[in-house]
Amino acid sequence: MSGAAEQRSNYIRGGDGEWEIVVGMEVHAQVLSKAKLFSGASTTFGAEPNAQVSFVDAAMPGMLPVINRFCVEQAIRTGLGLKAAINRVSTFDRKNYFYPDLPAGYQISQYKNPIVGEGEVLLDLAKGRTVRVGIERLHLEQDAGKSLHDQHPDHSYVDLNRAGVALMEIVSKPDMRSSEEAAAFVKKLRAILRYLGTCDGNMEEGSLRADVNVSVRRPGASLGTRCEIKNVNSMRFIAQAVEYEARRQIRIVETGGAIRQETRLFDARIGETRSMRSKEEAHDYRYFPDPDLLPLVLDEAWIEEIAASLPELPDDKKARFIRDYGIPAYDAGVLVGERELADYYEDLAKGIDAKLAVNWLNNEILGRLNRDGLSIGDCPVSARANNAILRLVAAQTISGKIAKDVLDIVWTEGGDPVAIVAARGLTQVTDTSAIDKAIDAVIVANPDKVEEVKAKPKLAGWFVGQVMKQTGGKANPQAVNTLLRARLGIPEEG
Amino acid sequence: MPLPSAPTEFTLAEARDALCAKRVSAAELTAACLGAMAEARVLNAFITETPERATEMAAASDRRLAAGEARPLEGIPLAIKDLFCTKDVRTTAGSRILENFVPPYESTVTQNLWDAGAVLLGKTNMDEFAMGSSSETSWFKPVVSPWRARHSNQDVVPGGSSGGSAAAVAANLCLGATGTDTGGSIRQPAALSGIVGMKPTYGRCSRWGVVAFASSLDQAGPMTRTVRDAAILLNAMASVDPKDSTSVNTSVPDYEQGIDHGVKGLRVGVPREYRIEGAPHEIDALWSKGVEWMREQGADIVEVSLPYTKYALSVYYIVAPAEASSNLARYDGVRYGLRATDVHDVVELYEKSRAEGFGAEVRRRILIGTYVLSAGYYDAYYVRAQKIRALIAQDFARAFEHCDVLLTPSTPCSAFALGAKTADPVAMYLNDVFTVTVNLAGLPAISIPAGLTETGLPLGLQVIGKAFDEKLVLRAGHAIEEAAEFRASPARWWAR
């Protein structure tokens, strides 16, 4: 399926022919856990500075790390969710460097033997295209604290609340070929993590951060020199950063220059990347196995237990939605992007036309949520209430137009749709005599139009509108159409 | 045997029995030790004395003794190496960088001791961050051994790094002390100071709250005047600690029980590689004597080979500094400890704080460790050292197929004059040639005072056992102690 034709659609034009972008990513996902990776300290976001720091986190003399079993479980769960190999034995290494927000002078990480090996993520792209991105590895490591440089004119402050919090570093293979794919990768990865409950995916609070590796090459050529863009913290910025960086590199190569391997920063205000440090300035981290920690040996039964507890993940859910609900792949992909949205849809579609339900969700619900700046979790109208509205339409109790009015009422005022329809007399008129009466009135009032419509059958629509107006929108439009055409002697369409 | 006249001369076992029999009170015992400490300040064995706390703890012990609620070490005054963090009592690791550091927590080992009823006399002097073999690298000035060669006024070293503890035990300033042993830091000063020192199996005593030097080698242990005392003290120190991931989950047996059962039928291995060129003949002579004592008591002597011994010092001086360079990175002047003033940026803060805070030997080892872990050198040094370390452990495993314990000299020499080796680090490092192998293999070993040089300075013999076979090591050590009848003690020249 990933034929050359499809690849070519990703090429971008430089001043001098076509180029291919190659993107790989290192995503740091904060493990959803009440306690830190090697100390008992709390991990709640937003506490007073240095309120959540144990003696271990502050690297007091003689303090020792003890692995948090739950964080390990979360890493295994994530590995299984990425269809990855779980390494039965993994080890922790020290990454040594000096920085005030790194109290021990080293970060405990997994350099040589990570807990999770190769896996994959499937990207859902526009026009139903899917791309497989390989996962190289996932490892556990500690986060550092935070240096605060803006609190005092000539002092820096350090907040160690985040120091020691568990992170999963998830490394992709260089399998992405465009900014769209790069953003889609983070989006999909985030969805999987949220489904699994292993990371809250909150990019604004920094629970999910991406280092983006970008290089360019001529189609078919070997990989170019890459630059790493550090800590990009939104999907939009990831796409922008890739786009900018690729253009920058193409410009350099096309004008006879060479790409320097370096670490760069993305400046979101101006949408550009700039150099942070070159390869030559890179630290020598002096990795070596942490002698304070034993190898992490995983019990087979425990892995199986975790595997058995995995929720249905986006790809499986999507396949099921297509299969069981008969909805288009694109719609299914959108729905499963957020677990809450997928759940909402399933409740909404219960016992009614699933395609109608997805259209209603896309056009009416998401539109209103977007307008009001709400997420699906905050939707003021429950899936059940919407299901009731659509059932009223299906039973021809109300028209599609009235259905939207009912939704607006429930949206702003709340209440039960069935009761609202009954109380406000919104029931659709299917009684032909009542409709006939309205038709009579319109015909009598517009003799000229009656003549006209005989020559121009398209005018029938105007009559339908007039009759609907007469009935206050409650007439069944289908019935109006049929009766009108019979009275005016116009053949039915189609 | 009649009890000594001065309570400070009690063995720990004697004091325990005397306390229970109410022949002496904890307060008297503690006061006697505090008095002896005050008299012996010229030895510089203590960095911090804690007389008030000691007096309070002793009073509490006397109440328990009176109530018949005595715990195993009730009222026993101990000296604690200044590497163990003690809550609200300054803990320096012998370094200027921690000169004013007061931990808000108590190490597991010392907590175990207080929970057993022991009394804290003070914190003993040591080589800075336990790096040294003479207790001369301390920021708080060298420790002076209570021993002197016959007819000599020359100060000699007590050995190191636990030299303050060794001197305090040898000079009867306390009934026992804790030490830590990374490459010989308990056994070597014990040998040079004429006392018993034991390094248990790696993982037997918790490292939690002990200032780290080289995490894969560090192990706490007892320093006492008799083998039985070492067993009693080890019983209280050892525990399974969930706060230390390298603590081994195996129960602590009664080390004292069966200690005097002798060595009849025991297979005692004699490793031929421990006979080194150029060592004083007294060392070999004492070793031969030890072998003879064992044989006389019914042990079977087996010659064994530990072929990788010759690489042990090199391996040790790669692995230990590598770990130390990382362990000591936390002393950066940012959160606690010495912080340089008049600095303009963070790099200068690091450089000045660490340059002022660390002494020459610590700086040397940080540099060595940083070097061997650096890109391009890591494989050639650190990785190879780890491979040889595994081979050294394998050497012991093979030897123990043919014997139950090994008998070796503890050190290649006796106590030397202060300053004699400070200018030559390699000469100093050679002190640990018989002890480092045991740390690299994680095994238990004990040094027992077994004789004197011609000039009257102590020498020790070392018994090495299989992992977690401390009981047998103590039993063999006890047999040597009995045979050696080591009764010498330093003349109290400092009290004159």
Residues of A in contact with B323 (CB under 8 A): 288, 291
Cα B224 to Cα B78: distance, rounded to the nearest angstrom: 10
Cα A440 to Cα A217: distance, rounded to the nearest angstrom: 73
Structure confidence at residue A8 (pLDDT)? 43
Q: Which of B91, B246, B334 sits opposite A292 (nearest CB)?
A: B246
**Any idea which fold A432-488 has?**
Arc Repressor Mutant, subunit A (1.10.10)
Instruction: List residues in chain A touching B: CB distance below 8 A.
Output: 55, 58-67, 94, 96, 98, 100, 103-106, 156, 158, 284, 286-288, 291-294
The verdict on residue B101 lying in a domain is yes
In chain A, domain spans: 4-307, 312-423, 432-488
Which backbone phi and psi does B120 adopt, to 5 degrees? Answer: -90, 115
Q: B371: nearest CA in chain A?
A: A286
Residues of A in contact with B84 (CB under 8 A): 62
pLDDT average, residue stretch B58-84: 97
Cα A278 to Cα A390: distance, rounded to the nearest angstrom: 60
The verdict on residue B234 lying in a domain is yes
Q: A50: nearest CA in chain B?
A: B335
- In 3D space, the residue among B256, B324, B270 whose CA is nearest the CA of residue B302 turns out to be B270
Cα B395 to Cα B393: distance, rounded to the nearest angstrom: 5
Pair of tokens at residue A93: 């290494």
Task: Identify the residue among B373, B378, B383 best suited for mutation to test binding to A, counting A beta carbons within 10 A and taking the highest.
Answer: B373
Whole-number Cα distances in Å, B329 to A57, B184, B287: 14, 24, 41
First to last CA, chain A: 38
Position of tokens 């890459």?
Answer: A226
Residues of A in contact with B378 (CB under 8 A): 286-288
Position of tokens 């659709």?
Answer: A428
- Sheet with B458-465: strands ordered across: B46-49, B119-124, B77-81, B176-180, B220-224, B196-199, B445-452, B458-465, B405-409, B267-271, B300-304
Structure confidence at residue B496 (pLDDT)? 67
Question: Global pTM?
Answer: 0.91
The 10s digit of each residue's pLDDT in A193-224 is: 999 999 999 999 999 999 999 999 999 899 99
Could you tell me the pLDDT band of residue B172, with boundaries at 50, 70 and 90?
very high
Q: How many CB atoms lie within 10 A of CB A478?
A: 12
Q: Which one is catalytic: B162, B185, B353, B410?
A: B185
Beta bridge mates, B209: none
First to last CA, chain B: 28
Size of the A and B interface in Cβ pairs below 8 Å: 94
The per-residue DSSP string of B38-75 comes to HHTGGG--EEEE-HHHHHHHHHHHHHHHHTT---TTTT
Percent of chain A with pLDDT over 90: 70
Q: Do B212 and A105 touch (CB under 8 A)?
A: no
The 10s digit of each residue's pLDDT in A291-327 is: 999 999 999 999 999 999 999 999 999 999 999 999 9
Structure confidence at residue A259 (pLDDT)? 95
Task: Identify the residue among B98, B207, B316, B326 best suited for mutation to test binding to A, counting A beta carbons within 10 A and taking the highest.
Answer: B326
Cα B301 to Cα B354: distance, rounded to the nearest angstrom: 51
Nearest Cα of chain B lies from the Cα of A58 at a distance, in angstroms, of: 8
Structure confidence at residue A9 (pLDDT)? 60
Structure confidence at residue A4 (pLDDT)? 39
Catalytic site includes residue B310? no
Rounded to the nearest integer, the mean pLDDT of chain B is: 96
Q: Do B105 and A66 touch (CB under 8 A)?
A: no
Q: Do B107 and A103 touch (CB under 8 A)?
A: no
Instruction: List residues in chain B touching A: CB distance below 8 A.
Output: 84-85, 91, 93, 98, 101, 103-105, 107, 207-212, 214-216, 242-246, 322-323, 325-326, 329-330, 332, 334-336, 346, 350, 370, 373-375, 378, 382
Specify the number of domains making up chain B: 1
Q: A156: nearest CA in chain B?
A: B346
DSSP label at residue B261: S
Task: Identify the residue among A39, A281, A286 best suited for mutation to test binding to B, counting B beta carbons within 10 A and taking the highest.
Answer: A286
Instruction: Assign B191 to helix, strand or coil.
Output: helix
Nearest Cα of chain B lies from the Cα of A376 at a distance, in angstroms, of: 44
pLDDT average, residue stretch A354-361: 94
Residues of A in contact with B350 (CB under 8 A): 98
**Exposure string over A94-107, b if 16+ CB within 10 A, otherwise e:** bbbebbbbbbbbbb
Q: How many CB atoms lie within 10 A of CB B66?
A: 11
The verdict on residue B454 lying in a domain is yes
Q: Which of B85, B208, B326 sits opposite A106 (nearest CB)?
A: B326
Beta bridge mates, A170: A27, A138
Catalytic site includes residue B185? yes
Q: Do A288 and B378 touch (CB under 8 A)?
A: yes
Q: Which one is catalytic: B25, B61, B81, B199?
A: B81
Q: Do A98 and B322 touch (CB under 8 A)?
A: no
The 10s digit of each residue's pLDDT in B177-216 is: 999 999 999 999 999 999 999 999 999 999 999 999 999 9
Residue A1, pLDDT > 60, answer no
Q: Do B244 and A65 touch (CB under 8 A)?
A: no
Residue A7, pLDDT > 50, answer no
| H or E, element range at B446 | strand B445-452
Could you tell me the pLDDT band of residue A2, with boundaries at 50, 70 and 90?
very low
Residue A253, pLDDT > 50, answer yes
Residue A271, pLDDT > 50, answer yes
Residue B40, pLDDT > 70, answer yes
Q: B372: nearest CA in chain A?
A: A286
ipTM of the complex: 0.96
Nearest Cα of chain A lies from the Cα of B344 at a distance, in angstroms, of: 10
Q: Which of B207, B332, B370 sits opposite A64 (nearest CB)?
A: B207
The verdict on residue B371 lying in a domain is no
Task: Identify the residue among A50, A53, A56, A63 best suited for mutation to test binding to B, counting B beta carbons within 10 A and taking the highest.
Answer: A63
Question: Which CATH number do you get for residue B123?
Answer: 3.90.1300.10
The 10s digit of each residue's pLDDT in B128-169 is: 999 999 999 999 999 999 999 999 999 999 999 999 999 999
Catalytic site includes residue B81? yes
Q: Do A286 and B93 touch (CB under 8 A)?
A: no
The 10s digit of each residue's pLDDT in B429-486 is: 999 999 999 999 999 999 999 999 999 999 999 999 999 999 999 999 999 999 999 9
Nearest Cα of chain A lies from the Cα of B211 at a distance, in angstroms, of: 4
Q: How many CB atoms lie within 10 A of CB A306?
A: 18
The verdict on residue B143 lying in a domain is yes
Structure confidence at residue B4 (pLDDT)? 65
The 10s digit of each residue's pLDDT in B392-445 is: 999 999 999 999 999 999 999 999 999 999 999 988 999 999 999 999 999 999
Residue A79, pLDDT > 80, answer yes
Domain extent at residue B184: 7-266+403-495
Residue A3, pLDDT > 70, answer no
Q: Which one is catalytic: B134, B138, B161, B410?
A: B161
Q: Which of B101, B330, B374 sits opposite A59 (nearest CB)?
A: B330
Q: How far is CA B386 from the centre of its chain?
A: 24
